[in-house]
Amino acid sequence: MILVTGGAGFIGANFVLDWLAQSDETVINLDKLTYAGNMENLASIADDPRHIFVQGDIGDSALMTQLLQTHQPRAVINFAAESHVDRSILGPEDFIQTNVVGTFHLLESVRAYWTAMDESAKSAFRFLHVSTDEVYGSLGPDDAPFTETTPYAPNSPYSASKAASDHLVRAYHHTYGLPVLTTNCSNNYGPLQFPEKLIPLVMMNAVAGKALPIYGDGLNVRDWLYVGDHCSAIRTVLAHGKLGEVYNVGGWNEKANIDVVKTICTMLDDLHAGSPVTPHADLITYVKDRAGHDRRYAIDATKLQRELGWMPSETFETGIRKTVAWYLANQTWVANIASGEYRHWVEKQYGSKA
Ligand code: NAD
Ligand code: DAU
């Protein structure tokens, strides 16, 4: 049995679905169901006895202790986080609360559980912390990609809170011997991503004939990885990673934002000819830049490839085509999200342009 936190969100839900497609090992899925958590993501496994969903907070020590004692998982995989950079700029407190304080309490619950185990269970146990490339800061155009030894230089409240959690995880290994693994991944895209992030936001707006907001000059670069490849990297690190080690995960797919958006527009011209506005690129609208906007991220995932044999299976071209097709086929999923609290966020972030 494994325990996953944040498994109703984008990557966590993809991970749980992929896991149960390949294994009969039960998953306990602990998620607070913040605005980003969505039970619809897990609808296909609602009646699956291998999936036990529990609504709760990683920072709730009593709940975590009870879950660990009752189910005795052999691993904890921590996806739970506040994850959107723009939200961290407008309101950092939740990020500190969940990503820093919440991770600390989770580590304490896990440490107590692990300490009480017998020696063989102790050495088999793993705590895998899912983190981000944003902890390394921003690259210039000619800088080499981030490696596992690149010094941390987080620039947003989000990345600073993730960096703090990474340091705590590292310290729990160094000080207490907790068997931890950390992954630092680049930008994910794919099915089930909340439409506050660039790719699903552009999909949702383009289909509705609304403006496609590009921050600044649109030349900021991200290194895109299909979410299924992130899930396979996490499974690989969980199975074969060396204790206490960090593994960078990336897709060797650096793209400027404007190029990503133009690619989606061209695909939509082809796949969604009935849109209110075509060509879809006519909807591209340059807007005010993000405060402190990191210019470029690029991940060197050579260590994961060389030591553990992982490689992504999607190129950006195959992955984005699948993703565009998924959003077109799942308009009800998008419509169910695009209401309530989310509409309030769009008004706050994009004002009258929304
Ligand atoms: P997401 O925002 O889609 O999902 C986060 C999930 O965590 C939600 O289901 C939410 O309800 C849950 N959650 C939030 N606070 C919680 C708490 N206190 N206790 C329990 N559950 C809580 O995020 P995502 O994009 O799926 O990211 C998952 C993880 O991967 C995060 O740790 C993020 O930092 C990391 N990551 C994301 C990306 C990316 O491109 N999205 C890339 C690299 C790393
Ligand atoms: O690099 C990994 C990180 O990728 C993860 O740790 C984060 O959880 C995840 O949200 C993502 O962060 P980014 O800030 O890179 O992703 P986002 O989709 O918000 O933005 C991608 C790029 O697109 C970024 O340069 C900002 C830009 N952008 C974003 C939005 C929402 C726009 O130009 N317009 C927009 O409306």
278-327 confidence digits (pLDDT tens): 999 999 999 999 999 999 999 999 999 999 999 999 999 999 999 999 99
At 53-93, the pLDDT tens digits run 999 999 999 999 999 999 999 999 999 999 999 999 999 99
State the amino acid at position 174 in one-letter form.
H
Buried b (16+ CB within 10 A) or exposed e, 126-155: bbbbbbbbbbbbbbeeeeebbebebeeebb
Distance 9 CA to ligand 1 centre (A): 6
> Which SS3 state, helix, strand or coil, does residue 178 take?
coil
Say if residue 276's pLDDT is above 90. Answer: no
Ligand of minimum distance to the alpha carbon of 89: 2
The answer to whether 52 and 28 have CB atoms below 8 angstroms apart is yes
Ligand of minimum distance to the alpha carbon of 353: 2
Contact 80 CB / ligand 1 (< 6 Å): yes
Does the annotation mark 136 as catalytic? no
Say if residue 354's pLDDT is above 60. Answer: no
Concatenated DSSP letters of 7-50? TTSHHHHHHHHHHHHH----EEEEE---TT--GGGGGGGTT-TT
Q: What is the pLDDT of residue 348?
A: 82
> Which SS3 state, helix, strand or coil, does residue 111 take?
helix
> Which SS3 state, helix, strand or coil, does residue 241 take?
coil
Say if residue 352's pLDDT is above 80. Answer: no
Contact 10 CB / ligand 1 (< 6 Å): yes
Contact 57 CB / ligand 1 (< 6 Å): yes
Strands 180-185 and 212-215: unpaired
At 155-208, the pLDDT tens digits run 999 999 999 999 999 999 999 999 999 999 999 999 999 999 999 999 999 999
Contact 88 CB / ligand 1 (< 6 Å): no
Q: What is the pLDDT of residue 128?
A: 99
Q: What is the pLDDT of residue 141?
A: 97
Q: What is the pLDDT of residue 275?
A: 83
Testing ligand 2's pocket by substitution, the residue of 205, 222, 225 carrying the most ligand atoms inside 8 A of its CB is 222
Name the catalytic one among 31, 82, 134, 223. 134
Identify the residues whose C-beta falls under 6 Å from ligand 2.
83-85, 132-134, 186-187, 197-198, 201, 213-215, 220, 222, 257, 290, 297
Testing ligand 1's pocket by substitution, the residue of 41, 83, 104 carrying the most ligand atoms inside 8 A of its CB is 83
At 221-232, the pLDDT tens digits run 999 999 999 999
Domains of the chain: 2-189+224-252+296-314 (3.40.50.720)
Contact 11 CB / ligand 1 (< 6 Å): yes
Ligand of minimum distance to the alpha carbon of 225: 1
Band (pLDDT 50/70/90 cuts) for residue 342 is: low
Say if residue 343's pLDDT is above 90. Answer: no
Q: What is the pLDDT of residue 226?
A: 98
The helix-helix angle for 198-208 and 316-329 (nearest 10°) equals 50
Q: What share of the chain is helix, strand, coil (3-state, %, to 5)?
A: 50, 15, 35
3-state SS track over 257-314? HHHHHHHHHHHHHHHCCCCCCCCHHHHEEEECCCCCCCCECCECCHHHHHHHCCCCCC
Does the annotation mark 342 as catalytic? no
CA proximity to 76, closest of 23, 29, 128: 128
Band (pLDDT 50/70/90 cuts) for residue 346 is: confident
Distance 76 CA to ligand 2 centre (A): 27
Contact 260 CB / ligand 1 (< 6 Å): no
Contact 58 CB / ligand 1 (< 6 Å): yes
In angstroms, the CA 277 to CA 173 distance is 54
Contact 134 CB / ligand 1 (< 6 Å): no
Question: Which conformational region is residue 225 in: left (phi greater than 0), alpha (psi within -120 to 50 degrees), or beta?
Answer: beta
Q: Which of 19-23, 39-43, 208-212, 341-345 has the lowest mean pLDDT?
A: 341-345
Name the catalytic one among 86, 133, 166, 294. 133
Task: Return the residue whose CA atom lies nearest to atom 16 of ligand 2.
Answer: 197
Does the annotation mark 133 as catalytic? yes
Residue 7 alpha carbon, nearest atom of ligand 1: 9
How high does pLDDT run on average in the chain?
Answer: 96
Q: What is the pLDDT of residue 341?
A: 65
Name the catalytic one among 113, 136, 158, 226. 158
